[in-house]
Structures are given as C-alpha cells and as structure tokens.
Amino acid sequence: MHDVSGVELPARFTFPFHYVPHELCKVAAREVMDYALNQDQWHDELLAGKMLGVLVVKDDDSALGFLAAYSGNLAHNGNNPYFVPHIYNLLEPQGLFRTGEAQITEINHRIESLEKSQERTSLKELLDKTLAQQEHEELKMRQTMNAAKTLRDKCRNEGNITAEQEAQMIKESQFQKAELKRLKKRHSMEIDSINQRLNEQLAAINNLKAKRRAMSEKLQRQLFELFVVHNARGESMDVATIFERRLHRLPPGGTGECCAPKLLQYAFLHGYKPVCMAEFWVGESPQGEVRHHGHYYPACRSKCLPLLEFMLQGLDVESNPLATKPNDDTLKINYEDQWLIVIDKPAGMLTVPGKDEEATSALEMVQSMLREDSLNAVHTAQYSNNTQVRTALEVHRLDQATSGLVVFAKTQGIQSALRKQFEERSVNKTYLALLDGVPTKNEGTIDLPLRPDIDDRPRQVVDIENGKQAITKYRVLEQRGTYTLVEFMPLTGRTHQLRVHASHPQGLNCPITGDMLYGTASHRLCLHAWKLNFTHPITGEPMHFSSEMSFL
C-alpha cells in the first residue's frame, strides 16, 4: 500500500450501506484500479462494467494493508490472483452447482423439445384452421337462414298463404335452426378433441417445469448451505440459515458473490482486523442502471444486508446516519392553519415512519407537536375558536436525504383533496440541486420511465418497456467550476426521479452531489425542495411557499 503515514485511521469500521469512503480506501481503490485495468486478460471485461471493492486491514503487527475483490466472476473465474477468492466456488467442475445445473439444463432441453415439437406445431395449426372453418361455415349458415327468413317474411307480408304453406315455412325455420346447432356441436367436438391433445402436451410441459422449479429451489438451498460465512466474534453460519432466521425465505441468487462479504470472509479466516471498506464501479454503466466509473457505492441491501449484519458482529461499526434521531428544533414550521401545515424537512429525516424504529419522521414530530399543543401563540390564535386538531396526515413525501418543503393535512378530507391535486399534477414543485458535472444543455425536459430495482431496493432503474412514466423539466441557474446549480421541475412524482434523471447517461449524466446511490457520497445529498405551490382545499386561494436552500 502506498505511503499513508499521514492519514488518520477511522475511529470505527465503515457502515457499508451509507458511508463516505475513507482516505485509506481511496488510496487502496486507486491502486486496485491501476492494477486491474493494466491486465490484458481483464481489461475489456472491466471496461464493460464491474463492481470492485477494497478492505483496509491490520495484521498481527498492526501493519496496514488492503484486500481487493470483485463482484461475481472475472474472466469466467472466481479465484484470480491479487483478488480474494469466492466464499464458495460455484464454478468447481465437479461441484454441486455444475452437476445440478447440468440436470436442470437437461430438463430445459426436454421442455423446449416438447414446446417446439412438430406434433404440437401441427395441432396448433389444425386448431387455427378448424376455428377459421367453424367461423366460415357458421357465418355461411346464418346468411342462408337470414335469406330464408327474409323470403318467408315477404311471403307473409304479401298475404294469401295457405295453412300448409305456413306449416312448411315453420318446418323450414326449425330445420335450419337445428342444422345450425348440429354444425356448432360438430365444430365444438372437433375443437375439444384438438384442445384435449394440446392440454395433454401442456400438462407434460408443466410437470417438467414444476420438477425444474423444485430441483432449482433444492439446489439453491443446498448451495447456500455451502456458503458458510464468519464474523468478528469467530462465529460461523451458512447463508441459507441467516436469511431464514431474519427474513424467513431463501436468499436471492448471487448472494455471497458481492465484494463486501468476500472481503470480510478472507480477513476473518486469515486473522486480519478490518479497518475500513469501500466498493467502487469500474467501466460502463449497465443498461438501465446508474453507475459511474470510479464512483463509490454502498453495499446492496437485498443480498448483503442480512449477510453483513451477521458478518459485522464483533466489530465496532459506525452507526447508521439515516437512523439518527433528530432534535426537536430541526423541524421548522413554514405555514400552519386549522386545515394543513407546511414544514421545512431537514436532510436525513424521514418524511413518514419507515422500517427503522429508531428514526423519527417529520410526520411523527408534527403529530407530537400538535398533541402537546406546542404550536406558537400566533398560529394557535388562527383557530382558537375551533376544535383543536391533534393529528397530521401524509400527503406526499420527500426522500430521507432530501431537504425542503412538505405539506401535511389535518383531516382526511383535506388529505384527499391535496392528494388529488398531486395526482392531477396541478401542484407545482421546484427543486434546487447541485450537480457533480456540467450538463450539455442549459434547459430541457427529461423523459425516462422508472421502476424499482427488485434486487437492490430502494434503487430505481430506467426501463423503457416496463417503467412508469417519469418527466422532469430542468434549467441551469449557475455554474460553479465543475459543479452546476440547477432548477428541477418534476411533472411526475416517481421515487428517486430527480436523482436518476440527473445521473443517468440518457438524462443529464451529472449525478447530484452527495448522491451515494447514483453518484458519490458526501456530507449530504445536495437536493432541496425549494418551492411548493398549490390551491388551498378550503379557501380556494393559491398558496405559494419557498424555502431557503440549505446545502450551500
């Protein structure tokens, strides 16, 4: 490791899901990147995109060094020199994964063979032909019946028909209706016969798919039982048990293959003391996702959260900054009357209660203020003759890391009325953001549909086919060296919309400063809900609010 004699050691180990990389990690990351990108056998694969990680450690003599890892495989190998090995090598030729994968592949071939068999293809063609013939013959029969009916009606209208002729016409009508029923019955029997043969084949295919699913689940469980991880206490547990105890389900595919667990595992097994850790991206961003070359990212939550919660036991880990309980004086009331209240939410505070029971939300703080009758005398006097309101209700949300204006309702009726304005896009919201970079245009509109990243919530990804519409207008206000102050006007309200639209290559390609999910972590996310305009649900008056920018 390069000379770091002047760098102060961190007091506690890195909280892997929300951190600013320590200088020791930055030094190690630069060494790893220089080494990895100069290896011909990995160069192209790394430039296509890969997550790398470093763990700074101390040995028994307190000498500093670092370990390096990559997520997944590199050059089709899980155990490359310079990097720590896999926790369990799935690619072992005679291992459980290879043998189980071969069995599942054989079933896949059988399913494909049945789905694409000539017999099944011929039956589908016969069914289509029979359905078309049914439609043609029945249409022709109805046309014949309509023509005969028209002729009978004409004869009746002209009069002078005998009883025998009337009986004959009735007999003709009954015969034609009976013929149509017989035709439908014959067609139905033919179609049922074809469908029965198709369903028999479908049942065989579904049986194979069920067998494949059972084999896959069994194989997955067996594999995760082989992924035995350790912690700083000297304890060990397999990954399947960790997830079942915490989440009552099997881990998602790829669990244990990320950088962080591989780095910690190697350190614990070889007697190294972890000092700090960081993960960083090398190369191009994956399709739909936001990853920037050389930027640091937190550990993924879906695969790594339960795993690292176990592996970090025994280490003195930094507290989760997002779970820090705010002081009561961190919440500023911007406006308040008997129907609604507008507040300035500080960065780092939840808008509404989340999963972390220790983190206090803005909604809970407002509710507490109302319950305790702690509003100032000026505000209270505005509705002193009315029944005291003692609750607040959610209308919209800001990300925990975002600061600025939030409105809460005091009754369900006001809540519904305000939410309707948000849904109908009649509420005007304006945000200020400091971008890490300079956009190519000074103003414009970004239209990139978003959906949740199911493998790494709460991250969002761009998905043109399956994402929900997300539209943002923007305008550059000021350039500050390599940073740019912009104004965002979202026309929709998707989760992390502004953050993704700012950082995505098809958006502004300039992450918001301090955005650890889509850019680089800093002291805070430089995104502020600056202006909020809506119509008062009771008075009908236009309401205009602004909040002082808090990140510069």
Which one of 399, 436, 456, 515 is the catalytic residue?
399
Q: Tell me which residue of 371, 369, 367, 382 sits closest to 329, measured CA to CA.
A: 369
Residue owning tokens 């090598």:
89
Asked if residues 24 and 64 have their Cβ atoms less than 8 Å apart, the reply is yes
The identity of residue 263, as a single letter, is L
Q: Tell me which residue of 68, 97, 64, 66 sits closest to 80, measured CA to CA.
A: 68
- Cβ within 8 Å of residue 361, ≥6 positions away: 349, 350, 351, 352, 353, 354
Joined together, the tokens standing for residue 179 give 């013929």
Asked if residues 532 and 405 have their Cβ atoms less than 8 Å apart, the reply is yes
Cα–Cα dist 304/320, whole Å: 15
- Helix, strand counts (H, E) of the chain: 12, 18
For residue 38, give the DSSP letter. T
490 to each of 369, 479, 500, 504, 542, how far by Cα in Å? 31, 21, 12, 16, 19
Give the CA-trace dihedral at 230, 236, 241, 242, to 10 degrees. Answer: -40
Cα–Cα dist 72/88, whole Å: 11
SS3 for 230-270 is ECCCCCEEEHHHHHHHHHCCCCCCCCCCCHHHHHHHHHHHC
Q: Is 399 a catalytic residue?
A: yes
Active site residues: 399
